[in-house]
Structure 1
Amino acid sequence: MKDIKKKLLVYAHYYHPDVASTGQILKELCEGMLDEFSITVICTVPSYTGTVEESYKKEKYYHENIKGVKVLRVAVPEFSKENKKSRIKNLIAYSFRAILATLKLPKQDYIFTISQPPILGGVLGVLGKWLKGGKLIYNIQDFNPEQTMAVGYSKNKAILNIAMMVDKFSCRQADKVIVVGRDMQETLKNRFNNKNVPRNVFINNWIDEKEIYPLPENHEKVLAFKKKYELENKTVIMYSGNIGLYYDLENLIKVIERFKDRDDVVFAFIGDGTKKKDIESYVTEHNMDNVKFIPYQDKSDLIYSLNAGDVHWVVNAKGIKGISVPSKLYGVMAAGKTVFGVLEEGSEARLIIEDCNCGICIEPGNYDLIYQELKDVIENIDKYKQLGIKGKEYVDKYIKKDVAIEKYSREILCEVEKLTEVENKERMSIQETKNV
């Protein structure tokens, strides 16, 4: 029987089994929309850590089927997250081969792209629309070049201006822009000075509440995780996720240093990123024995690592408000854990935390207050641990995976139906003119 589902092409950059948060979100989104769409994903071979397995070094393209989603992987060179040139080479290779892969596909009804890689993700969506037709949905997970400018990663004004111009063009070409925070809608409006703002909607990212949920402190696998990484019988203050540019971790580690003589507390960093080596060096240099670095965990083990923490950092550097939403928040809340937020007032993550009172929030850059509040949390840990369950209740009510995915399906179909209706009216008008 001929497949009557509409064709949806997704540019994902990273996709399962890569541990990038956007890759995991897109996997769940694609699999959740299979009832509505026939989906093809164009992404890299697994390479989020910078390395590529030998089995993915033989060909330029790999065709896979993951739970009904057609996955077309493109080969990319290995890279170092600390080396700008190698990263740029990797991104260009992905973008170029993704375009060539697009040419191999039939016409599409819809194109869905995200803002990863920065700027290039939007460009791929536009090219996909031009090459294969269909309506373009641009999902902005992070605004760039605003994010780059906020942390001073690049100060080349000419390049930043060109990047802004290109991404604004991608927004204009999109039939709908989907952002992941209320504050991000304001950023989109400001980009266009509140004039001719592209059609947009806000949908929170999510967590699969069936995969991440609270476990008893004496759960066998939680205890095993703590034993493996020397977290036993201590208050565990955890950071789980990308140890990268946008979180001010190189300054927060200096706050943590003030607790280095506390043998009843351990600070656990789970993940990897461009700032990890710098932070590791600082910890070694300053003899911070109660700081532990732990590798990324398999998705199936994430429930145990998250439950091993008593309090979780959810942080952004100053200036990130309206640009990005730390998706790690949803996993922490789903596990029923208390949030220690270093987030700007009015930012999406902080609004959520304040809505449900699942933790505390402090303005980025106020390091003395961060120290005082962290000290209070540690010394009154039993009281603060009770806040976490409010986050779990909020997730179950407002941020369920199925609810979010249904919103995406509805917004894509609703947008296309609206546009189709307009096109039909235009055709009828033209026909009537011809008849006259």
Structure 2
Amino acid sequence: MSKKLFLITEFYDSSQNTTGYLFGKLHEFLSKQKDIDLTLLTKKDEKVLNQPEALYVKGVTFDKKSLVSRSSYELFIGFSFFKNCAQYIKKDDIVFTGTTPILLLIIIHILKKIIGFKWVLLVHDVFPENLVAAKIIKQDNVGYKLLKRVFDSVYASANDIIVIGRDMKDLVYNKTNHNKITVIPSWIDEKDITLQAKNNNSILTELGWQDEQKVVFQFFGNLGRVQGISSLMKAIKLMKRAEDAQFIFIGDGVYVDELKSLISESNNKNIIYYGSVSQENKSIGLNACDISIVTLADGMLGLGVPSKAYYSMAADKLIFTIMDKNSETYQMVEENNIGWVVETSNIEEIAEMLDKAVSDIQTQKYNSPRKTLINKFSSEVAMNKILNIIRTL
């Protein structure tokens, strides 16, 4: 008899965002397993193709820049998921969730005690510790201490925990003292990202940035509070070889207005904010560079692993990593010789490493990021690890 599995996620399609891509791939893989009776429970999105067998909760729009608007959304979507979970999930079923929406975790935690199902938790964000890193709340705040106490218990109640980095495993273990934590990096299918020569890229053609003598650095993805973009901008000002480098920012997020101001103040025509690109044009966006910049601000150790690193590896782009030396991405780039690494705390060192990258890319030998992805971080390997965890339950 097939085991009943509920895949519960806010996003489920690659056209929505990275979470949608990852869960969409996971849904596609799990639906092919004959020993699993899979049900997708997700938020309805009129802009993407609906899964006919799925269960949907109603979605609402909100202002990402407003904490009040976002909090109201979390309450609404959390209640919607609660009704469906309570109605359809039965004893001994298996539930697989991510860490958003955040109230979903409390809901699953409570219903698990009442109903008696098994829970696999995929951790992309560690809450509420990520609020401190984003400077939304202070660590000594009473509200934070209460949230941490609650969510430490919530995370610990999962039967199995999957994390996306070694540094995150250490943090989650300290948070939960859980003995079943597995590291499985984000699963990117390299076939979804096509390779493209620099002189054939439409974005670089539009900008007139096809000079092979200049090195194009790119920041691609979410422009948020925890990306450490201000440190990067300060470092660019200190570069000795700035005239040989160009910087393009592609994406969206709460930090966009601040980024535009920093670019304007720099008075450097070789730094631009391009805007965002559609999911359909992701390959074009990822190929609009020689080097991909992947950053995390100070205080983010263990709290996140930027999926953009794996997307850029699929595009066969070398990675320039700015983050704590104990972080997953820093170690991955260094261990596999696929780019440059520097810590976030020293602006002068970041500038020196940017200059070094400009020189090294013409003279030094690096491994292929795409081949590294295929050999060590393929979606097939990740999916089978997840399947094994589910089957043990």
TM-score normalized by structure 2?
0.89
Matched residue of 2:13: which SS? coil
Distance 1:286 1:364 in 2: 20
Between 1:295-304 and 1:168-177, the stretch displaced more is 295-304
2:376 paired residue number = 398
Distance 1:232 1:261 in 2: 18
Distance 1:147 1:106, change over 3 A: closer
Deviation digits for residues 204-262 of structure 1, max 9, x if unmatched?
A: 1121011125433344xx2x232234433242110111111111112222223446995
Tell me if 1:383 matches 2:363: yes
Matched residue of 1:138: which SS? strand
Name which of 6, 10, 16 aligns with 2:7.
10
Matched residue of 1:251: which SS? helix
CA contact (8 A) 2:231 2:344 kept: no
Shift of residue 104, structure 1, vs aligned partner: 4.2
Shift of residue 311, structure 1, vs aligned partner: 0.5
Tell me if 1:65 matches 2:58: no
Name which of 302, 306, 309 aligns with 2:289.
309
Name which of 79, 100, 104 aligns with 1:116.
100
Larger Rg: 1
2:236 paired residue number = 256
Deviation digits for residues 342-379 of structure 1, max 9, x if unmatched?
A: 12112111121111110111011211010111122224
Distance 1:8 1:151 in 2: 34
Distance 2:77 2:388 in 1: 30
2:326 paired residue number = 346
Which runs of 5 or more residues in structure 2 are unaligned?
none
Distance 1:231 1:133, change over 3 A: farther
Distance 1:16 1:228 in 2: 29
Shift of residue 25, structure 1, vs aligned partner: 0.7
Tell me if 1:20 matches 2:20: no
Distance 2:155 2:242 in 1: 50
1:44 paired residue number = 43
Q: CA RMSD in A?
A: 2.6
Distance 1:80 1:288 in 2: 31
**Which letter maps to 1:294?**
Y
Deviation digits for residues 260-304 of structure 1, max 9, x if unmatched?
A: 995653211111111111111221233332222233333332222
Tell me if 1:200 matches 2:181: yes
Distance 2:278 2:39 in 1: 24
Between 1:164-173 and 1:37-46, the stretch displaced more is 37-46
Question: Aligned residues: percent identity?
Answer: 26
1:426 paired residue number = none
Distance 2:313 2:343 in 1: 20
Deviation digits for residues 150-187 of structure 1, max 9, x if unmatched?
A: 34221262221122122122123211111111122211
CA contact (8 A) 2:188 2:311 kept: yes
Distance 2:299 2:337 in 1: 23
Between 1:124-133 and 1:172-181, the stretch displaced more is 124-133
**Which letter maps to 1:171?**
Y
Matches within 5 A, 1:277-292: 277-292=257-272
Shift of residue 89, structure 1, vs aligned partner: 1.2
Tell me if 1:154 matches 2:137: yes
Matched residue of 1:206: which SS? coil
**Which letter maps to 2:62?**
F
Distance 1:399 1:122 in 2: 27
Distance 2:281 2:71 in 1: 32
**Which letter maps to 1:399?**
F
**Which letter maps to 1:41?**
L
**Which letter maps to 2:225?**
L
**Which letter maps to 2:10?**
H
Deviation digits for residues 113-171 of structure 1, max 9, x if unmatched?
A: 112234x2421332453565421111111212222223422126222112212212212
Tell me if 1:237 matches 2:237: no
Distance 1:322 1:383 in 2: 34
Tell me if 1:332 matches 2:287: no
Distance 1:210 1:319 in 2: 34
TM-score normalized by structure 1?
0.81
Matches within 5 A, 1:23-102: 23-36=20-33, 37-46=36-45, 64-65=50-51, 70=54, 72-76=56-60, 78-102=61-85
The runs of at least 4 aligned residues of structure 1 exceeding 4 Å deviation read 130-133, 258-264
